[in-house]
């Protein structure tokens, strides 16, 4: 079902706000993505517009994209401190407060944004991941993931021997473990600085979600891009400060969540579709967009098995193993094949 159809279905079953005593409210929403990023275009912006329509304007938003209200790592604090009412959190930026949610960063799990998003949505509805977000003072409305991270480099990377000693840009400590398991060194560099780091030779390779590559123009500085790897993921969680959420009527709360679910599914599918188009575009431009062979995938997967075990042990949290097994089970049940 398309996003429009899903939205219409939600709106058709929406509560009739006309005549209800619904206090108008403007929510200040923080976001570290630019309004041109696919996550914003197909996700955040669509959700805000859908909520405003569903509530007949009772709920509106004041949007602060591109870190205008708070830096990426400070979005959660900004909500808890009352600077913002809501925020699209990059879970990886809040590993201290949301350590269990870093499970999405583990390699070898989902193969498409749609598959990963369905798993994340299920885990945010109930269980340790939801409880962890609530304990941080905010209520999760919906969550989605970026397409699985791929390898971008000036040389083709396949077997672990190809990765030995390479400086690899990674996103967060979990993905740094992935680089290390392959024989490389994980280097944490903000997205906007990656282009220059590759261009100047500071980085030998980059682990990055393909749907986000155009936003940083990384296709201009690499010549080889893998398309069927699964080097971890990245999750976004739309949250409202809990006391703000609980202050809304039950009808409005329902609308936020139901429209959020439709948006999560849509932005995931939009990213997967964009990846297929980008791969064709890059290949036409002379970039080696390649698939790992079955032998390479098997060897890489074997090298990365220990990352999940290490993740659970390092957290030293009795819920980590429960989360890991739930995630593994969900991904196994959600056999969604990427369209590229």
pLDDT band at 2 (very low <50, low <70, confident <90, very high): low
Q: Which domain holds residue 138?
A: 3-146+233-273
- Quick one: pLDDT at residue 318? 87
Q: Does residue 17 have a pLDDT over 60?
A: no
Dmax over CA atoms of the chain, in Å, equals 67
Residue 327 lies in a domain: yes
Residue 340, domain member (yes or no) = no
pLDDT digits (tens, 9 = 90+) for 42-77: 999 999 999 999 999 999 999 999 999 999 999 999
Residue 9 has pLDDT above 80, yes or no: no
Q: Are residues 191 and 237 in the same domain?
A: no
C-alpha to C-alpha distance for 45 and 257, rounded to whole angstroms: 15
Do 83 and 159 sit in the same domain of this protein?
A: no
Residues 241 and 220 in one domain: no
Average pLDDT, integer, range 183-208? 94
- Quote the percentage of the chain above a pLDDT of 70: 92
Distance (Å, rounded) from C-alpha 258 to C-alpha 262?
7
Taking CB atoms within 8 Å and a gap of at least 24, the contacts of 282-291 are 282/219, 282/225, 285/219, 286/223, 287/219, 287/222, 287/223, 287/224, 287/225, 288/156, 288/223, 288/224, 288/225, 289/225, 289/226, 289/227, 290/156, 290/224, 290/225, 290/226, 290/227, 291/226, 291/227, 291/228
Same domain, 191 and 329: yes
Report the domain count for the chain. Answer: 2
Is the pLDDT at 19 greater than 90, yes or no?
A: no
Q: Choose among 200, 199, 218, 198: nearest CA to 208.
A: 218
Where residue 184 sits, what CATH number does that domain have? 3.40.190.10
Mean pLDDT of 230-252: 96
Asked if 34 and 157 sit in the same domain, the reply is no
| 132 and 155, same domain (yes or no) | no
**Distance between CA 208 and CA 206 in Å, rounded?**
6
Do 182 and 316 lie in a common domain?
yes
Confidence of residue 334 (pLDDT cuts 50, 70, 90): confident
Q: Is the pLDDT of residue 337 over 60?
A: no
269 lies in the same domain as 122: yes
Same domain, 169 and 23: no
The set of residues, in sequence order, having a beta carbon less than 8 Å from that of 190 and lying 6+ positions away, is: none
Contact 10, 259 (CB under 8 A): yes
218 and 249 together in one domain: no
248, 327: one domain = no
- Token couple for 167: 């400086």
């Amino acid at each position: 079902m398309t996003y429009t159809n899903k939205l219409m279905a939600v709106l058709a079953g929406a509560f009739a706000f006309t005549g209800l005593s619904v206090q108008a409210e403007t929510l200040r929403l923080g976001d570290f993505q630019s309004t041109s990023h696919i996550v914003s275009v197909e996700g955040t912006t669509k959700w805000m517009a859908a909520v405003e329509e569903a509530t007949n304007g009772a709920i509106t938003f004041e949007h602060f994209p591109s870190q205008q209200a708070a830096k990426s790592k400070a979005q959660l604090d900004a909500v808890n401190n009352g600077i913002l009412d809501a925020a699209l959190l990059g879970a990886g930026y809040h590993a201290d407060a949301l350590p269990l949610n870093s499970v999405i960063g583990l390699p070898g799990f989902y193969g498409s944004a749609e598959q990963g998003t369905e798993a994340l949505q299920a885990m945010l509805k109930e269980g340790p991941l939801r409880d962890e977000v609530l304990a941080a003072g905010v209520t999760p409305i919906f969550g989605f993931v970026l397409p699985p991270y791929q390898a971008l480099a000036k040389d083709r990377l396949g077997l672990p021997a190809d990765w030995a000693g390479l400086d690899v840009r990674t996103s967060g400590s979990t993905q740094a473990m992935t680089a290390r398991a392959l024989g490389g060194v994980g280097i944490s560099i903000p997205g906007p600085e990656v282009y220059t780091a590759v261009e100047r030779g500071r980085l030998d390779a980059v682990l990055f979600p393909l749907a986000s590559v155009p936003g940083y123009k990384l296709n201009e500085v690499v010549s080889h891009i893998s398309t069927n790897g699964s080097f971890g993921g990245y999750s976004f969680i739309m949250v409202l400060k809990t006391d703000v959420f609980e202050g809304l009527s039950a009808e409005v709360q329902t609308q936020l969540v139901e429209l959020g679910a439709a948006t999560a599914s849509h932005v995931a599918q939009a990213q997967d579709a964009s990846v297929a188009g980008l791969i064709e575009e890059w290949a036409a431009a002379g970039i080696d967009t390649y698939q790992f062979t079955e032998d390479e995938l098997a060897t890489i997967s074997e090298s990365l098995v220990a990352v999940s075990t290490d993740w659970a042990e390092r957290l030293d949290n009795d819920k980590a193993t429960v989360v890991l097994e739930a995630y593994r089970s969900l991904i196994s049940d959600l056999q969604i094949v990427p369209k590229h």
